[in-house]
């Protein structure tokens, strides 16, 4: 399943964010702790590295992620130069309030009103960036919603004396690969009109059967040994009584329900990838373009009028 979801406003936002990065000391990158690899915007990661900016990687929604895998991800990122990674929940003020302190440690030379610490916050849609901003600034600065791409403007906020934070809208990148697209659809970072719900639920089921079978059995009862991602939907449909006309399993409804249970944490604390998956991507990646920004399509190539596929 190829996912092509790159709304027009994100092209303009990407250009603005690339400019803002030049005047930034620390890039705060909000990731979804359940899919740290897939929720990384590779265009901005490449830009950040080219610009040699420090990164504070926030593994958000860690309350829903597998704690053991979160530990692996933190170790993976904290071993990278100029990177500090922390796991937290944007809904917990006590965890969020330490963000300025982490950022300061990454750029200790930026420590006065004359040389303010300039931060920018990046994240793809639905990773919890608005929630984090709201908690950080302790007021409602952005609309928190369940649909991707709610925030569309860049804003700058004063976090305290000598500390500036530029907020950017949630941005995707063109040409999302199939595996990453399926994971981002599962975590609801991609608008629901851009994917097939049964296909995403089947792929999620196949992964969970291998890596989190116990979570599935706890939720749905015993699962047959030869179960596949697809037949799992049939099992769930019969256990839940989701039957369509003619007595056949209602797979569409089952898929929606299954994805909903994964998204709200009812299936347990689950993480869909490990640092090895990211290492494999890096090994397979083409050599970096001279300028990440130059490698991107021009704004004029963006599709028109598809700002939000769910609308
Ligand atoms: P965005 O700006 O990155 O697009 O994301 P946003 O803050 O709108 O958050 C998307 C959804 O994720 C919201 O759920 C939000 O509450 C939830 N969320 C954000 N951070 C966390 C976290 O650390 N842990 C958990 N468990 N959820 C988080 P929602 O369904 O719209 O509403 P709500 O009823 O959960 O508030």
Most informative mutation of 128, 130, 168 for ligand 1 (most atoms within 8 A of CB): 128
Ligand 1 centroid from CA 299, angstroms: 29
Domain 196-263 adopts which CATH fold?
A: Conserved Hypothetical Protein Ylqf; Chain: A; domain 2 (1.10.1580)
| Number of other residues whose CB lies within 10 A of the CB of residue 266 | 12
Question: Is the CB–ligand 1 distance for residue 129 below 6 Å?
Answer: yes
Question: Is the CB–ligand 1 distance for residue 205 below 6 Å?
Answer: no
Question: Is the CB–ligand 1 distance for residue 169 below 6 Å?
Answer: no
Average pLDDT estimate for 199-205: 98
Q: What pLDDT is recorded for position 221?
A: 97
Question: Is the CB–ligand 1 distance for residue 39 below 6 Å?
Answer: no
For a pLDDT cut of 70, what percent of the chain falls above it?
A: 83
In the chain, where are the structural domains located? 8-175, 196-263
pLDDT in tens, 119-147: 999 999 999 999 999 999 886 555 544 44
What is the residue-averaged pLDDT of the chain?
86
pLDDT in tens, 95-123: 999 999 999 999 999 988 899 999 999 99
Question: Is the CB–ligand 1 distance for residue 125 below 6 Å?
Answer: yes
Q: What pLDDT is recorded for position 297?
A: 39
Ligand 1 centroid from CA 144, angstroms: 7
pLDDT in tens, 273-296: 999 999 888 888 765 554 444 443
Domain 8-175 adopts which CATH fold?
A: Rossmann fold (3.40.50)
Q: What pLDDT is recorded for position 278?
A: 92
Question: Is the CB–ligand 1 distance for residue 91 below 6 Å?
Answer: yes
| Number of other residues whose CB lies within 10 A of the CB of residue 292 | 21
Euclidean distance between CA atoms 177 and 190, whole angstroms: 13
Of residues 131 and 299, more confidence is placed in: 131
Is residue 155 very low, low, confident or very high in pLDDT (cuts 50, 70, 90)?
Answer: confident
Average pLDDT estimate for 181-193: 94
Name the residue at shortest CA distance from atom 26 of ligand 1. Answer: 61
Is residue 203 very low, low, confident or very high in pLDDT (cuts 50, 70, 90)?
Answer: very high
pLDDT in tens, 215-271: 999 999 999 999 999 999 999 999 999 999 999 999 999 999 999 999 999 999 999
Question: Is the CB–ligand 1 distance for residue 150 below 6 Å?
Answer: yes
CA contacts within 13 A on the Cβ side of 62: 24
Name the residue at shortest CA distance from atom 6 of ligand 1. Answer: 128
Name the residue at shortest CA distance from atom 13 of ligand 1. Answer: 146
pTM of the model: 0.88
Most informative mutation of 29, 67, 146 for ligand 1 (most atoms within 8 A of CB): 146
């Amino acid at each position: 399943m190829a996912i092509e979801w790159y709304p027009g406003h994100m092209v303009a936002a990407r250009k603005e964010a690339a400019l803002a990065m030049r005047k930034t000391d620390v890039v705060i990158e909000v990731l979804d702790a359940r899919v740290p690899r897939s929720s990384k915007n590779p265009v901005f990661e490449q830009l950040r590295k080219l610009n040699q900016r420090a990164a504070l990687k926030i593994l958000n929604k860690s309350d829903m992620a597998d704690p053991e895998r979160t530990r692996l991800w933190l170790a993976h990122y904290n071993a990278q130069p100029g990177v500090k990674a922390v796991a937290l929940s944007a809904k917990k003020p006590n965890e969020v309030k330490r963000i300025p302190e982490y950022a300061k440690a990454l750029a200790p030379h930026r420590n006065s009103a004359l040389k303010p610490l300039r931060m920018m916050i990046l994240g793809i849609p639905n990773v919890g960036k608005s929630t984090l901003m709201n908690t950080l600034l302790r007021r409602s600065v952005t609309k928190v919603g369940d649909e991707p791409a709610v925030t569309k403007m860049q804003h700058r906020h004063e976090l305290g004396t000598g500390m500036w934070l530029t907020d950017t809208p949630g941005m995707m990148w063109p040409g999302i690969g199939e595996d990453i697209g399926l994971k981002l659809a599962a975590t609801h970072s991609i608008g629901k009109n851009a994917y097939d719900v049964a296909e995403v639920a089947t792929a999620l089921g196949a992964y969970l059967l291998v890596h989190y079978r116990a979570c599935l059995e706890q939720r749905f009862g015993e699962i047959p040994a030869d179960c596949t991602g697809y037949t799992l939907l049939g099992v769930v449909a019969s256990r839940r009584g989701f039957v369509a006309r003619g007595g056949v399993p209602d797979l569409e409804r089952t898929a929606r329900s299954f994805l909903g249970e994964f998204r709200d944490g009812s299936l347990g604390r689950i993480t869909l990838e490990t640092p090895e998956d990211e290492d494999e991507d890096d090994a397979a990646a083409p050599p970096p373009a001279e300028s990440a920004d130059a490698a991107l399509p021009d704004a004029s190539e963006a599709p028109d009028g598809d700002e939000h596929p769910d609308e």
